[in-house]
Amino acid sequence: MRNWRDYILQHFCQSIHRLTLVADPDGLMLEEELLAAIRQNGFALLPFEDHVAFRYAYESGFRQHWDKGHDTDLVVILRSPGASLRALPYDLLQSGRMLVFGLPVLFPKLSYPVVSELDLVYLQSLYKAYWGYAGSEMGDRVSSLFVLKHVFGVVLDTIKTPANLLKLLLSRHTRGERVPPRLDALLLESLHRNPAFNRWPLKAILSSAADFFAFLQERWGGYLAVQQSTEVLAREPRATYQVDDLLPFGDPDVRVYVDTLFLDGKLRPVSLPEGWAVEGWAQVGVEVDELAFERRRFAGLLEHLEAELPAADTTHKDWLQFARRWAELVVLRHRLASDPSEEMAARYRSLHLQVEGRFAEWMQMRYHTLHSLPFLPQPVMVHHVAHCMAAYRAQHSNSSLALVVVDGLALDQWLVIRDIWADESHGWSVQEGAAFAWVPTLTSISRQAIFAGAAPQFFPNSWHTTEQEASRWRRFWRERGLGEANVGYLRNLGVKDLSADGSLCLDGEVGLEPETEALIGNHRMQVVGLVVNTVDNIMHGMQLGTAGMHQQVQLWHTHHRYLTRLVDRLLQESFVVYLTSDHGNIWAWGMGRPKEGVLVEKRSQRARVYDDPAFVALAKAQSPTAVEWTNVGLPGHLKVLLAPQLEAFLDVGHHTVCHGGIALEEVVVPFVRISGK
């Protein structure tokens, strides 16, 4: 058995039992490919975490159907470490078969504490290496060395030079590897014995991608400086560059990464002092002509993304990584406006359609598995965000936390904000990520899921409104030990009057609302949720497409400075700030409006929500290319119809910026953690 998933899948090859109960203390059944395979074999999965939520989902989603004679194979998963299946309700135990899965069965000779800290994505690499192991049982240290070598390609004795370490870190952080602290402690122990790394901030750059790229950025100027003559350097104040402990950017194994980092925007080119000259490959990191640099970067990113478009059966992590790079390309495309050649513009349009087509195909194949995936170390879906925050608070001495939901902020629009903050050099620590919104990507569904910390199926009576967000937010934290006086919520923040075209009134900086100041300054507040509505308000009046959205977000951020003031104020009061969005947006063109009358429960330009399958059929007949969406995670009585690709339920020939569908720009939203350095 060369694939660890086969150890579990052998029990789900055919329908034998209507109900299967699984004890899964190590969360093996949370692995994405395994989940997809089990579901493909016809089994539905339901975690047993909260008694009330489970009973609701079980009775409404399965028991009622069984009573009517419908066949549905259900797998109930108990994930609590140390918990016995006997903890499940008696009626389930009477009728279900019982299975137990765990890491000790897969890796009996490896230390359980070491293996249990690994993300599931690394189990296959470990399993392939372990398959050929015939030695004795390993302790913690030997197991850690085994995992470092065979999973992360790290052999401690081979990291002797700055080039060795730099290559390792570049590989780790560009691929988004998550190495357990136990393993990094071994690596740190080895590195600290090497005097070549005495002045490196090793702990920070090992654990944080943001700190590592900031470290590279600081040292880039020094690398360029040593290429200048002593006479040139003598004319420039030393404070503008640092030549101590130079990094080997020119090493062939390092250069291949550095060029891509400038392309992706993780490193920013620097302006050279007068008289300096740089030749060869290092010019990629020199800001000579900003327009020429952005043209070159646009062409390079376009070529990369054309070659790296994920397959329809790939993992969600591949799409998240692609989405971040695609957002960079979108920003460049609209920053350059009409500058690219007709050939480049045509390639961009062609790729955009390919991206949306491939992503829509992937969403229909894999999206239904995402809500079951673990929320640590990063939330996969937006309803995981509150759980991720609660875990952080438990691990960091009950830190004060703030959740800022910028309603309607797409990933590319977040990059506009991020770049402005980078130019302003606030000195914040910004950890960037992304998550999936709920579909249909409507505020009442996806934003409510954020504050409820639950899938929309668990608020079947309020899915169409945001009025219960505050109470659901407080309930989530009350269940985790916080009182009403310790949890705050405010919405409709940062709003300024907009003109008819959605543009901002440029009348200077905007102060925080009195109620916002009072909430943040209340020292009893331990967790606050804040909804900033400006971007969504801009979007609903926008007539100038994605380029207009970028322009207005930039104006809002640089002139009003509301979001900057809000984050800065929160950090002053020692909050750790989480920033996310409920949905993005897309520039779409009209495909025609279905004539529905009162048949539709909720409508947007990209989505229609019905409570009767017959109504969906009527609308589908009028819009045959529309997508009938699965109601995964939604209240059982709802049915959803989505506009395809870059189209909208508008009159033919009309365009608008809108949301509700499954375009990449609507579904993948920013997830950012900001703290003071």
Per-residue pLDDT tens digits for 503-537: 666 666 678 999 999 999 999 999 999 999 999 98
- Position 502 scores a pLDDT of 52
The whole-chain average pLDDT of the chain stands at: 87
- Position 11 scores a pLDDT of 86
pLDDT bin (cut points 50, 70, 90) of residue 438 is very high
Residue 630 reports pLDDT greater than 60: yes
Distance in angstroms (rounded) separating the CA atoms of residues 425 and 419: 10
Would you say 30 and 84 are in contact if contact means Cβ atoms under 8 Å apart?
no
Amino acid at 412: D
Q: φ and ψ at 109, to 5 degrees?
A: -100, 0
> Which among 440, 648, 445, 672 has a CA at the least distance from the CA of 576?
672
- Position 241 scores a pLDDT of 55
- Position 188 scores a pLDDT of 95
- The CATH architecture assigned to 371-585+665-676 reads 3-Layer(aba) Sandwich (3.40)
- Position 44 scores a pLDDT of 78
- Position 86 scores a pLDDT of 79
The dihedral region occupied by 89, where left means phi > 0, alpha psi between -120 and 50, and beta the remainder, is beta
Per-residue pLDDT tens digits for 266-295: 898 888 777 777 778 888 888 777 788 888
Mean pLDDT lowest for which of 13-22, 70-79, 238-247, 429-438? 238-247
- Position 108 scores a pLDDT of 94
Would you say 327 and 411 are in contact if contact means Cβ atoms under 8 Å apart?
yes
Per-residue pLDDT tens digits for 126-136: 999 998 888 89
| HEC-encoded secondary structure of 394-461 | HHCCCCEEEEEEECCCCHHHHHHHHHHHHHHCCCEEEEEEEEECCCCCCHHHHHHHHHHCCCHHHCCC
pLDDT bin (cut points 50, 70, 90) of residue 70 is low
Per-residue pLDDT tens digits for 309-354: 998 889 999 999 999 999 999 999 988 876 777 888 899 999 999 9
Q: What is the pTM of this model?
A: 0.85
Residue 180 reports pLDDT greater than 60: yes
Q: Taking the domains of the chain in order of start, what are their residue ranges?
A: 4-106, 112-152, 156-288, 292-360, 371-585+665-676, 588-658
C-alpha distance from residue 321 to each of 33, 224, 414, 441, 645 (Å): 17, 30, 15, 20, 20
Q: What percent of the chain has pLDDT over 90?
A: 51
Distance in angstroms (rounded) separating the CA atoms of residues 19 and 63: 11
C-alpha distance from residue 420 to each of 163, 208, 235, 591 (Å): 32, 21, 31, 36
- The CATH architecture assigned to 4-106 reads 3-Layer(aba) Sandwich (3.40)
* Tokens, residue 30: 């949370």
Distance in angstroms (rounded) separating the CA atoms of residues 68 and 70: 6
What is the rounded end-to-end Cα distance, in angstroms, of the chain?
48
> Which among 562, 446, 540 has a CA at the least distance from the CA of 495?
562
Q: What percent of the chain has pLDDT over 70?
A: 92
**Which residues share a beta bridge with 257?**
none
Higher pLDDT, 16 or 10: 10
Distance in angstroms (rounded) separating the CA atoms of residues 349 and 351: 5
Higher pLDDT, 595 or 15: 595
